[in-house]
Amino acid sequence: MKKDSFALLLTTLLMIPTISFAQENGNASEELNSTIAAEEQIVQSQAAIQEELSETVKTEQIEQTDDAKAVEETQATEQAETTETQSSQPETAPADTQQTDRQTSAQQEPVQSEQNEAVQSAALHNDVSAAGWVQSSGEWYYYDEYGYPVYNQWVQSGSNWYFVDYSGRMVTSQAHEIDGHGYYFDHLGVMKTNGWVSDGYNWYYATANGTLWEGWLPSNGKWYYFGTYDEYSGEYSYAMAKGPHSIDGSHYFFDQNGAMATNGWVTDGYSWYYAQGNGTLYLGWLSSGGKWYYFDYYDGSMVTGYQYIDGSDYFFDGSGVMITNGWYFDGYDWYYVNRNGTLHTGWLSSGGKWYHFDKEYGYMETGWTIINGTNYFFDQSGVMKTNSWVTDGNDWYYATGSGALKTGWFTSGGNSYYFNAYGEMVRGYYVIGFDYHYFNSNGVWQDSVPIY
């Protein structure tokens, strides 16, 4: 509308006639009237322009007033949120990491100048936006003075530092590695310094220059560790360690507050560990309360169930206690454990009965079994059969007084039987030597061969 008014004024000015001396002699009266009309039109145009300018000024004043109110409301709202945040310290923060010298221990989680966070937010979303920040689809991007987007670069605004990643997005609410160092950026994208920070799942410790602490950190008589590799994903984390971890060839356990465990039993909910006075986890054999336990050298966890250790077989119950001196059933097989905890293998006489245990795995054997080239039969209780007929449900055998199964010809109750090399009683037609023989369904030899 301003452009139309100025164009009208300019056009009118150009239309003002320059009255020449020759024209005065011609139509002076007519020219005078035209001049008066043009001047009246100029006055009207100037009045319209003045009115337009007044309306523009009023509009800009109203917009400035609304912007000021919006900033004040934003500051008030974020100030209230900041106050609420300050009054609700996360319960999962390490419980005893306050007021310790920076050189040798963690400082108290700093009381951040959250009072400035509302101003900081307003700067980011208003002033800084005008200087290069642009929001798109909920993400913030930074454009340089030439209008080009910035990638993988630090951006400073006032005393705060921000970082945009390879995609150009502002990094927020996470730990982020930059040039081999970790940094933590809060929900506004501001790099944190001097204290504990959390992403809701893990805790980090930011130093004065913003780099995240790595390695051992003592605080109030306890030790914490930052920077570990995940053994499953293979990824490195700057977070405070929790649970079992292997560090420089030794195993340690950190509780839920991140403190290194010492002098006692600890668990992560899945396995048990025993932490020594210096924090390293116990490995190998441990005698405690008159009982024996064993801890895996791989990760320091207490073992249970069947274990093969240094060439011998052992069993540990659900509490990790080594089984000794007696029978043990693992849910599938029976074993006999010696007084020293090793599993018995080979022959065992118990209660006037004979048993045999597998030489490799130590389980009690049942049914038909070959031992040192001789056939034996053990019932479902593992007892070796002697001087009796026995069956496995398919074949019949005869156990002699020594327990060895009969092979070859055998006479019992006036009947003749024949057992093959496996001790199985034969039935039907069978070649012995060069002759055919016939045995009925009960295995009894028939002196005449039926002809079909």
Window from 12-21, 153-162, 191-200, 228-237 with minimum mean pLDDT: 12-21
The structural domain count of the chain equals 2
Q: State what percent of residues in the chain have pLDDT above 70.
A: 70
Name the nearest CA neighbour of 439 among 389, 391, 376, 396. Answer: 396
The answer to whether 181 and 212 have CB atoms below 8 angstroms apart is: yes
Q: Is residue 113 part of a domain?
A: no
Which residue's entry shows tokens 């169930």? Answer: 305
What's the CA gap between 31 and 147, in Å, rounded?
A: 57
Q: What does the pLDDT read at residue 51?
A: 52
- The verdict on residue 226 lying in a domain is no
- Percentages (nearest 5) of helix, strand, coil residues in the chain: 20, 35, 40
CB–CB of 108/97 below 8 Å?
Answer: yes
Band (pLDDT 50/70/90 cuts) for residue 131 is low
User: How many angstroms separate the CA atoms of 363 and 327, rounded?
Assistant: 11
Boundary-marking domain end, from 212, 234, 269: 212
Mean pLDDT over residues 87-93, rounded? 36
| Average pLDDT of the residues in 285-289 | 95
pLDDT at residue 370 is higher than 50: yes
For the cut 70, the answer to whether the pLDDT of residue 334 exceeds it is yes
Residue 404: inside a domain, yes or no?
yes
Q: Is 185 exposed, middle or buried (0-12, 13-18, 19+ CB in 10 A)?
A: buried
Decide which of 189, 212, 235 is a domain's last residue. Answer: 212
Q: Is the pLDDT of residue 119 over 50?
A: no
Which of 152, 183, 212 is at the close of a domain?
212
Strands 195-198 and 428-432: unpaired
Confidence bin at 104 (pLDDT 50/70/90): very low
In this prediction, residue 40 carries a pLDDT of 52
Rounded Cα–Cα distance for residues 297 and 210 (Å): 38
Query: Comparing 57 with 258, which gets the higher pLDDT?
Result: 258
Residue-number span of the structural domain to which 189 is assigned: 129-212
Q: Residue 179: what pLDDT? A: 95
Long-range CB contacts (< 8 A, 24+ apart) of 152-156?
none
On whether residue 446 sits in a domain, the answer given is: yes
Distance separating alpha carbons of residues 114 and 86, to the nearest angstrom: 8
129 vs 163: CA distance, rounded Å: 15
Range scoring the smallest mean pLDDT among 18-22, 73-77, 130-134, 368-372: 18-22
Q: What is the mean pLDDT of residues 94-115?
A: 38
CA-CA distance, 36 to 33, in Å (whole number)?
5
Q: What is the pLDDT of residues 392-443, one digit of tens each?
A: 989 999 999 999 999 999 999 899 999 999 999 999 999 998 888 999 999 9
**Residue 371 DSSP code:** E
Please give the full DSSP string across 213-265, using - where no structure is assigned: P-EEEEETTEEEEEEEE-TTT--EEEEEP-EEEEETTEEEEE-TTSPBP-SEE
Residue 293 confidence (pLDDT) above 60: yes
CA distance 377 to 370: 9
What are φ and ψ of residue 64, in 5° steps? -65, -40
Q: Which residues contact 442 (CB under 8 A, 6 or more apart)?
A: 427
pLDDT in tens, 29-62: 454 344 445 445 544 544 444 454 345 434 444 4
Angle at 401 between CA 399 and CA 404, to 5 degrees: 45
For residue 269, give the nearest of 305, 240, 243 by alpha carbon: 243
Residues 6+ apart with CB under 8 A from 99: 107, 108
Mean pLDDT of the chain: 79
Band (pLDDT 50/70/90 cuts) for residue 16 is very low
CATH number at residue 184: 2.10.270.10
Residue 359 confidence (pLDDT) above 80: yes
Q: What is the pLDDT of residue 20?
A: 39
Is 431 part of a structural domain of the chain? yes
Pairing of strands 236-240, 174-178: unpaired
> What's the pLDDT score for residue 235?
82
In a domain, 273, yes or no: no
Is residue 165 in a domain?
yes
**Nearest 5°: phi and psi at 178?**
-135, 120
Residue 197 in domain = yes
Burial of 334 from C-beta contacts in 10 A (0-12 / 13-18 / 19+): middle
**Whether the predicted pLDDT of 106 surpasses 70:** no
